[in-house]
Chain A
Amino acid sequence: METKPSYDELKTRCDGFQAQVIRFLKVEQDLVDARGKLDRDLSRFRSIQAYSQKVISAESIEEFANITIESVVETFEVECSAFLLYDKAKNILTVQSYFGFDDETYPGCQLDGEWISAKGFLKKGKVIIEQVEPDSNPFGKTGLYKIILSPYYDEDGNFHGILIGGVSLLKRAYYDEITEQLIPSFMVFTQQMSAMLQNFEAKRFLDMKVQERTAQVMQQKKEIEKINEVLTSQKEELQKTLEDLKQAEIQLVQSEKMASLGQLVAGIAHEINNPVNFISAGVDSLTTNLEEIKQVLDIYHKVTTKNVGEKLKEVWELKERIGYRETLTEINKLIESIKNGTKRTTEIVKGLRTFSRLDEDILKTADIHEGIDSTLILLHNKYKNRIEVVKNYCDLPQVECYPGQLNQVFMNILSNAVDAIDDKGTITIGTSVRGDHVQISIIDSGQGIPQELRKKIFDPFFTTKGVGKGTGLGLSISQSIIEKHHGRIEIKSKPGEGAEFIIMLPVRQGINA
């Protein structure tokens, strides 16, 4: 039989069991604490890793500082943080960024050289934990209770700034005490931050250089664009001016053409008037003569078998009275005269059409001789009866040209030649083939052109004629027209011995004279 344990035995067992439970609970709690610390360290390590990944994207020192201080708060579960940069020239630390402070109490203070030296930060300093007294400087007014300060250095070991984490007096109870256990991980964080800051500054330096160069290039580009704009503007102005000039030239050429035509109109009118007068007078006389013939025919129509003798006598008497044979001869002469008048008028009109060739301001092949001849027809009234025109034409090929414009050249030169001969004289027109070119020579026996005027003769508005008699553009325009044809115009003259205008024209355009 098993004996029941006594009360004392039971009490002893119970106390032993209770002691075991207590030990177990304590051990378990120690284990929980140890695991908690490991969790915190792991969490900080992860947080530092996350910080490194986050801060690498910072684009400004402000952003870098902001990411850093928020990461300090997150990693170390402190209430507030500040990022201070060291100004070597002024030997002060200034707050670049802060987080978790009231706006009214943030550490906007500068930490002076004395403070920095006292902390030994200029040389390799250590992480410091400080309890802040409310009336102490420089952090007393910030409401901080406890802070952890870590200096950081550049790659050459020069003091660069400090990182602060802290807890305020007001909220200290919510936060874990800042103890020395925090120092190793805070130091790791600061070192990591320092390395990232160096990378950031190197990157920023490079970025700055790139930006500077980009700015230079952009400036140059702007300048070039500005110059380009000026040039474009000038080009546009020049183009406009050119357009204006072309327009003016067209107007002047038209004016000159109209002036030339105006001068010619009187001559042409006279030229046409003469044959028209022949025709008009001839028609009147012919009408009278035909009336007389009609009277004779009327009598013939009245002849019958009964009155044939009587009517033939009337016819004979009438023929005698009107001079029938002379009338018939006169009719023939009048018809011939009308024919001549008509032919002459047709020639003039044809010459005028050939000259003007208004519908032919396009490049085409034309007969040079035809152009010269039509011009002469139009000028005929100016030179007839006093100037002999000698034509020494050779066998010319058809020339590729603007026929209407070439006729204007012939008109100018021949008109000047006619004007140059005061009284009687000769104009000799010669044509010849010179290789790929044709040569037209117009020689007048006029007074000639003095040496000093020969240089000006092709200048616009130069004229030796009286006011209102010439535009001074004839030869200038003629030269332009010949140049447009890739030809050239020359002048040979001696005072008192007449003048010779030589025109060289390529047979085909594209061949230079």
Chain B
Amino acid sequence: MHTCKEWAIIKLQNMLQFFSASTNIVNSKRAITECLKNALRGEPDLHCDLIIIYSAIGHNFKDLLSEAGKLSPNARLAGCTGAGVIGKSGPDESIKALGIMVIKGPPEEFALVHKETKMGIDPYVTSVEMANDLKKINPDVNIILFLPSFFEWMPVNEALDGIKSVFGKTIPIMGGFSSDNSKGINCFHFFDDKVVERGAVMIGFADQTIKIINKVTHGFNVIEDLSLTVTKAMRGRIYEFNGHPAWDVLEETLGLPETASWLDLTIISGFAVKLPEELQEEYGSKYILYICAGKNADHSIELPVTCHKGMKVMLTKRDERMMFDGVDRMARSIMDTLGEKRPLAVFQMDCGMRGKLTLNKIDKDEIVNRLQSPICRNEDIPWLGFYCGGEFGMLGRQSLFHNFSSSIFVFYR
């Protein structure tokens, strides 16, 4: 016969436990060591079962993985690069930023798969393959963290559709595009001791006791007067707006110099697409936003989602006050759902366009603080986020792809 306390321990051992830490130490081995030690402070040792790693592009990834492997030999490792990390103490977009979420629990309560996709893929087909692989490992997966490469996985809504076709439409998919430090050059994924250039990692959680709250917000003004109609498109590529080469229209409309890149455009403005009416209230906006993710030689542009002829897109303008209001609204909504319950862990995905490219440090810190302060309530809540190339957030009980937004998934029981 077990005592109540013993039952509580046995029960806890059969559930996932979360710990997190972040650092900007430039020496990669020391950085991961400090992270692990800080995350597991108070625990008897550094042994754990899964480490989710978000790293900025400047680290020596092999050193990160090998050192983590040495410190916690039984732990599975997974993660990717991003434009920065968001830890318990706020955002860090230095080129050596590092953040980890350490997870302890039975191996049957999580599963990992990865894919090397550098040679090009069909997002739907590949995501179905990955989701099936994940399901084979653990059919009970009920939450997915999906970290695809920014470069090969567009249109990414097709990838999400692929996952939903395997796990059901309402499977919560969190995560986002891995990226570099918003230079748009490359990205890397981590899978155990492997560093995979331009791939994807999918992590499934199968702890049935975990509940989630997901909210997403952007806080941008949509300039409805600057509306463009897609007249020629294929999948994520828009060839023409209003019958003219897409890039030329944008160049003229926004007064961009000829030398401007897609990133220059993205920093100034994004594209807004009207949401179905039933999702508008939940989102707090009539529009979902996307970035321009590429400029081609034929003056066509890339969007991260599927586009079609006749689609109307509007240009957007950043509005800091709306961004603050958006995160406040999100935090209030989360607190209403949580009540007195304590969060187990928080996963945050922020668009790189909410980082240093567009916001000053004070505003950026404030946005994160307006989420962390009410949700953590001065408690040490494991919190890991990263600045990505586009993030997943749920609307109408389905995960969708967003840009320019903050998306957070709060785990609780």
Tell me whether A25 and B268 are in contact (CB under 8 A).
yes
Tell me whether B183 and A38 are in contact (CB under 8 A).
no
Q: Does B337 contact A (CB under 8 A)?
A: no
Docked Cα-Cα span, A416 to B269, in Å, equals 134
A74 neighbours in B (Cβ, 8 Å)? 24, 26, 94, 96
A77 neighbours in B (Cβ, 8 Å)? 58, 94-95
Considering only residues 245-289 of chain B, those with a C-beta below 8 Å from chain A are 253-255, 267-269
Interface residue stretch chosen among A29-37, A125-133, A365-373, A448-456: A29-37
Docked Cα-Cα span, A35 to B318, in Å, equals 15
Interface residue stretch chosen among A13-21, A276-284, A324-332, A343-351: A13-21
* CB of B80, distance to nearest CB on chain A (Å): 15
Q: Mark A190-214, 1 if CB is under 8 A from B, else 0.
A: 0000000000000000000000000
Given contacts A25-B268, A36-B360, A39-B361, contact A70 B27 (CB under 8 A): yes
**How many of chain B's residues have a CB under 8 angstroms from any CB in A?**
30
Q: Does A173 contact B (CB under 8 A)?
A: yes
A interface, over-half SS: helix
Q: Does B51 contact A (CB under 8 A)?
A: no
Docked Cα-Cα span, A124 to B243, in Å, equals 63
Tell me whether A70 and B358 are in contact (CB under 8 A).
no
Docked Cα-Cα span, A357 to B98, in Å, equals 97
Tell me whether B360 and A32 are in contact (CB under 8 A).
yes
* CB of B221, distance to nearest CB on chain A (Å): 11
Tell me whether B360 and A39 are in contact (CB under 8 A).
yes
**How many of chain A's residues have a CB under 8 angstroms from any CB in B?**
28
Q: Among the interface residues A21, A26, A43, A175, which one has the most CB atoms of the partner chain B within 10 A?
A: A21
Tell me whether A14 and B94 are in contact (CB under 8 A).
no
Q: Does B322 contact A (CB under 8 A)?
A: no
B356 neighbours in A (Cβ, 8 Å)? 36, 39
Docked Cα-Cα span, A175 to B181, in Å, equals 9
Docked Cα-Cα span, A38 to B362, in Å, equals 11
B183 neighbours in A (Cβ, 8 Å)? 173-174
Tell me whether A70 and B26 are in contact (CB under 8 A).
yes
A21 neighbours in B (Cβ, 8 Å)? 223, 226, 317
Q: Mark B121-142, 1 if CB is under 8 A from A, else 0.
A: 0000000000000000000000
Q: Does B57 contact A (CB under 8 A)?
A: yes
Docked Cα-Cα span, A14 to B94, in Å, equals 42
Docked Cα-Cα span, A25 to B270, in Å, equals 12
Tell me whether A99 and B94 are in contact (CB under 8 A).
no
Docked Cα-Cα span, A38 to B356, in Å, equals 12
Tell me whether A32 and B317 are in contact (CB under 8 A).
no
| 17 further A-B pairs in the complex, CB-CB below 8 A; given A25-B317, A29-B267 | A18-B226, A18-B253, A21-B226, A22-B253, A25-B269, A26-B255, A26-B268, A28-B318, A32-B267, A32-B357, A35-B360, A39-B361, A70-B26, A77-B94, A173-B185, A174-B57, A175-B95
Q: Which 3 A-B pairs have the closest CB atoms?
A: A35-B360, A22-B255, A39-B361
Question: Which A residues contact B (CB, under 8 angstroms)?
Answer: 14, 17-19, 21-22, 24-26, 28-29, 32, 35-36, 38-39, 42-43, 70, 73-74, 77, 79, 99-100, 173-175
